[in-house]
Structure 1
Amino acid sequence: MGRWEPDARGRLAKAAMELYAEHGFEQTTVAEIAARAGLTERTFFRHFADKREVLFYGMERLRDLLARAVADAPAAATAMDLVGAAFEAAAAMLQENPERVRLRDAIVSANAELRERELIKLAALASAVASALRDRGVPEPGASLAAETGVAVFKVAFARWVSAPGQPDLPGIFRESLAELRGVLA
């Protein structure tokens, strides 16, 4: 592949995921990723700050989706209904490419540094949801509690979905998990 071909970012991401799966995250170099994609290291660094960012570059889109789902929910929705709508939308987005999401999860789970970064990114998602809830008039500490609860329920639902590859319905698993939590709290 020549450097002029389109979708350099996508090619780099695909190459990185393949190499991480084949050799492990730690053993894969940026030079190897760029070579597999038919690009230069310089091109890699135009698209990603480092090789970890290949695994986390969609988080801004996910954060925006969560905030938009809270903002667009019906006016009469409760704080947990807003959180449910937000994380259900996120689940639907992740479900669009289940193989990549499951591979990414395996790569992150196998590396302590990446697991720590994942927790930081999840905290940023909770913060974005809490901010969107406050914008909707949910006072503190309720906004933060609801947002953090949403992240916790999402993590449990995601783990259930990842561990059973035959289950295609991540949004449904999230809804079930949220209903289970509501039942426990009733």
Structure 2
Amino acid sequence: MARWEPNTRERLIRAAVELFAEQGYEATTVNEIAERAGGLTKTTFFRHFTDKREVLFAGQEIHSRIMAEAIAEAPESATTLEMVGLALDGLASSFTEDRREIGRRLRAVIANSAELQERSAFKRAALSESMAQALRTRGVSELVADLAAELGVRAFYGAFDRWTSAADPRTLDAYTREVFGELKTALSVLG
């Protein structure tokens, strides 16, 4: 592949995930990622990512925006949990089938690195805060918004784990609705 081919960012992500899975996160260099992505340079890598850790968490801002927009566009009559459900639908539908294998590998890489586990927890907290802020903007009280957002993020991550572990053809959307439904049922049991 030549340097001028399209989708440089996506190629870097795929190369990083492949290399991290093959030889470990710590053992992989930015130069190796750039080379695997089609003979790119380290400079090209740093135009897209601040460091090799961030290549695994690309798109966090986009995910936050998708959820916030879904909540903002929800009907006025929507309940808090309905708004969270719409945010989850929007987020899950942005994950195409080709992301399943990347996600599977990514989960394994993160599980083997304390540094990446910490960054993953930070991303999860940021997604929750983004969703909670969008709910507060819609007039939901702070405590309810925080709790609903935590529930939503828990549903998404649980669904993502199932989706990347499963062999069946269901979409991430289907898993997300399933897990969110299970959590809402569990919430009602608490009564």
Moved over 6 A (4+): none
Shift of 1:8: 2.4
Aligned counterpart, 2:7: 7
2: CA distance between counterparts of 1:133 and 1:182?
17
Distance 1:92 1:5, change over 3 A: closer
Shift of 1:101: 2.2
Aligned counterpart, 1:83: 84
Shift of 1:27: 1.0
TM-score of the pair, normalised by structure 1: 0.91
Aligned counterpart, 2:160: 158
| Unmatched segments (≥5 aa) in structure 1 | none
2: CA distance between counterparts of 1:35 and 1:172?
37
- 3-state SS, counterpart of residue 81 of structure 2: helix
Shift of 1:94: 2.1
TM-score of the pair, normalised by structure 2: 0.89
Aligned counterpart, 1:184: 186
Aligned counterpart, 1:74: 75
2: CA distance between counterparts of 1:63 and 1:108?
21
1:31 aligns with 2:31: yes
Paired letter, 2:29: T
Shift of 1:43: 1.3
Distance 1:92 1:41, change over 3 A: same
Question: Contact 1:91 / 1:171 at 8 angstroms: preserved in 2?
Answer: yes
Q: Report Cα offsets for 1:124-174 as digits up to 9, x if no partner.
A: 011111111011111111111111111122222222222213242222222
Aligned counterpart, 1:172: 174
| Unmatched segments (≥5 aa) in structure 2 | none
- Identical pairs, percent: 51
- 3-state SS, counterpart of residue 141 of structure 1: helix
Indicate which of 137, 140, 164 corresponds to 2:139.
137
Aligned counterpart, 2:120: 118
Greater mean alpha carbon deviation, residues 29-38 or residues 175-184? 175-184
